[in-house]
Structure 1
Amino acid sequence: MTTAATPKLKTSAMIASFVDPGQKTVSAPFGHALVKAASADDRIVGLSADLSKYTDMHIFAKQFPERFFQMGMAEQLLFGAAAGMAQTGLIPFASTYSVFAARRAYDFLCLDVAEPNLNVNIVGGLPGLTTGYGPSHQATEDIAIFRGMPNLAIVDPCDSVDIEQAVPQLAASEGPTYLRLLRGQVATVLDEYDYTFELGKAKELRAGNDVVFITSGLMTMRALQAADRLAAHHVDVGVVHTPTIKPFDAETVLAQVNTPRLAVTLENHTVIGGLFETVAAAMARTGIGKRVVPIALPDEFLHAGALPTLHQRYGLSTDRIVERVLEELG
């Protein structure tokens, strides 16, 4: 007896969406939200480092060509120019890949943007493990790099709802922000949970008596999926979404963590310097002594490959989350 061969993954799977087949999505929510915000405020301008199509900035560029600036493959110039525009009273949104913003242009962001506390909004594409192209494009340590930068707010949205609601709030904030962008066909998840994005606030999406998930970014979607799956194992899971990593809503999160439940953090980022360590530091400062289980990427340069395979390999898939929780509960 022979078995059918497993279909060979095509190269396109390496940049495939992490959205499940049949899931509700919105196309380019960032680009459309920026157009809407710019229609109401003519101070908003857009810039990109030759990546407008790949960060959904092209939506804005088409609508407002006179307010869009293509800076070429020069991230330092991108953020230096954005800083100068902010000094004149404009509100720049500057997009590139997260790896280039964090690794290549850190000094320019720090000295030109963050130190004078300018309203420059950095839009980072491909954050965490959202591409299979390997270490050159996987921004798995971007939050760790940026958390130490004074004045910079860090937003890790779950879905289209988060992005659409975050954009006008970022534009209205006084200082600089960094948005971990989800681009293309972006899942719509939070519309079912009576949720509203508020910069600097965490929100409980689901109550549960046995386990509490503290999550950010696309992992909130996976956490909600895992919570549904775990209910079949008679495990009652609560989910707390933390879209703003900095400033961190310690009051809300610690109230959820400081219970007898198993506490688990979930993030699309290395276990070093991200959500897990943000939660752990807040617990230590307030004297909460309990174990928190991190579900995060390992402290290493990750392999290249098909995105679904990588998520399974590194523990971000729904299957792996369910397995880990059941193991922890014994």
Structure 2
Amino acid sequence: MADMMKKATRESFGMAVTELAEQNPNVVVLDADLAEATKTVIFKKKFPERFIDCGIAECNMIGIAAGLATCGKIPFAASFAMFSAGRAFEQVRNSVGYPKLNVKIVGSHAGISVGEDGATHQCCEDIALMRTIPGMVVLNPSDHYEMLAAVKAAADHYGPVYIRLGRLAVESFNDPDNGYQFELGKGITLRDGKDITIVATGLMVSEALKAVKALEEEGIDARLINIHTVKPLDTDLIVKAAKETGKILTVEEHNVIGGLGDAVCAALAQECPTPVVKLGVNDCYGHSGPAVDLLKEFGLCADGIVAAVKKML
């Protein structure tokens, strides 16, 4: 059994991309003066000659990454999600997405769990932005082991990929020594159930696991699906769950507009119209405060998920 640990996925990313570079000399990392925060500093210490600090110039960073990709490199361009996905959106769209270049855009400190940094840095729009770019793969891993697998899968996939990282440490629950497998575009059923399906992504998966256990104690049989790849979405798995349970609750640390919930609703509207409730940041900005307290305030915790399920039922 793999060691179960509590670790922020941003740190797991730094470890993963460094390990990847040991095996693949074409892997390079770019950062925008935030290496300590995004944990690309781990890579920088091991491979200083393959690390480029672009300074506080995220748009230029994406342009450099695009150029490196045309030379056969596999660039991972990292910054806070607000900047790599937000500020540099035009460059991601036109310099990476349009020519279908092999660039991996990395958005750290996503969602309201950024905490005390406040609304300006709590990016709850990045998944929506990246989903709109044709050909872009959007990954939101849920724990340490899923991040390790996601980074490798992103490098193996030729084309633009967006990887979302969290600041807050989260308990690992995926066990690569006990059958866990990662595949781009494929969701994972963590628990079967017949009363309702909870579809969660990223940091919210661990909270949903706690919620499912609490619901079970009250006689509610909830299915739980982990969607680590928001785009392309595992439509088949979602439709199957909708047909078998009849109700869907989506949970994401992101605006309810344009994220996982909207992706699920779009898929079901076309394939299997089903009642869906979207639990997330309800079309508003976050604010400064301790990360755990903010998650509770926004209902993005086990108790909030339990309450949302009970209301649906």
Structure 2 length normalisation: TM-score? 0.94
Greater helix content: 2
Tell me the CA shift for residue 176 of structure 1: 0.7
Matches within 5 A, 1:222-301: 222-286=207-271, 288-301=272-285
Tell me the CA shift for residue 259 of structure 1: 2.4
**1:235 partner amino acid:** I
Structure 2 residue 6 is matched with structure 1 residue 25 = yes
Matching residue of 1:136: 120
From the CA coordinates, give the structure whose radius of gyration is larger. Answer: 1
Conserved in 2, the CA contact under 8 Å of 1:129 and 1:311? yes
Conserved in 2, the CA contact under 8 Å of 1:30 and 1:183? no
**What are structure 1's unaligned runs of at least 5 residues?**
1-22
Matches within 5 A, 1:203-222: 203-222=188-207
Deviation sequence 1:33-57 (CA, Å, 0-9, x none): 1111111110000110001111110
Deviation sequence 1:281-321 (CA, Å, 0-9, x none): 111122x2221111111101122212122111111011111
**Bigger Cα displacement from structure 2, 93-102 vs 130-139:** 130-139
Conserved in 2, the CA contact under 8 Å of 1:56 and 1:183? no
Corresponding pairs, count: 306
Deviation sequence 1:35-85 (CA, Å, 0-9, x none): 111111100001100011111100000000110001000001110000000
Matching residue of 2:49: 66
Q: What secondary structure, in the 3-state scheme, does the structure 2 residue paired with 1:151 have? A: coil
Matching residue of 1:5: none
* Cα RMSD, aligned residues only: 1.5
Conserved in 2, the CA contact under 8 Å of 1:159 and 1:182? no
Deviation sequence 1:213-262 (CA, Å, 0-9, x none): 11111111111110011111111111111110111111111111222443
Conserved in 2, the CA contact under 8 Å of 1:56 and 1:184? no
Conserved in 2, the CA contact under 8 Å of 1:195 and 1:205? no
Matches within 5 A, 1:54-133: 54-132=37-115, 133=117
**What are structure 2's unaligned runs of at least 5 residues?**
none
CA–CA distance in 2 between the matches of 1:302 and 1:182?
15
Tell me the CA shift for residue 185 of structure 1: 4.2
Matching residue of 2:129: 145
Residue in structure 1 matching 2:289, options 286, 302, 305: 305
Conserved in 2, the CA contact under 8 Å of 1:97 and 1:125? yes
Does the C-alpha gap of structure 1 residues 194 and 235 become closer, same or farther in structure 2, counting only changes over 3 Å?
Answer: farther
Conserved in 1, the CA contact under 8 Å of 2:197 and 2:245? no
Deviation sequence 1:20-40 (CA, Å, 0-9, x none): xxx832472111111111111
Q: What secondary structure, in the 3-state scheme, does the structure 1 residue paired with 2:162 have? A: strand
**Bigger Cα displacement from structure 2, 180-189 vs 168-177:** 180-189
Deviation sequence 1:84-128 (CA, Å, 0-9, x none): 000000000111000012221111111111111111111111111
Q: What secondary structure, in the 3-state scheme, does the structure 1 residue paired with 2:175 have? A: helix
Structure 1 length normalisation: TM-score? 0.89
Structure 2 residue 153 is matched with structure 1 residue 169 = yes
Does the C-alpha gap of structure 1 residues 302 and 216 become closer, same or farther in structure 2, counting only changes over 3 Å?
Answer: same
Deviation sequence 1:156-193 (CA, Å, 0-9, x none): 11001110011111111110111001357443112287
CA–CA distance in 1 between the matches of 2:154 and 2:311?
40
Conserved in 2, the CA contact under 8 Å of 1:80 and 1:112? yes
Q: What secondary structure, in the 3-state scheme, does the structure 1 residue paired with 2:249 have? A: strand
**1:174 partner amino acid:** Y
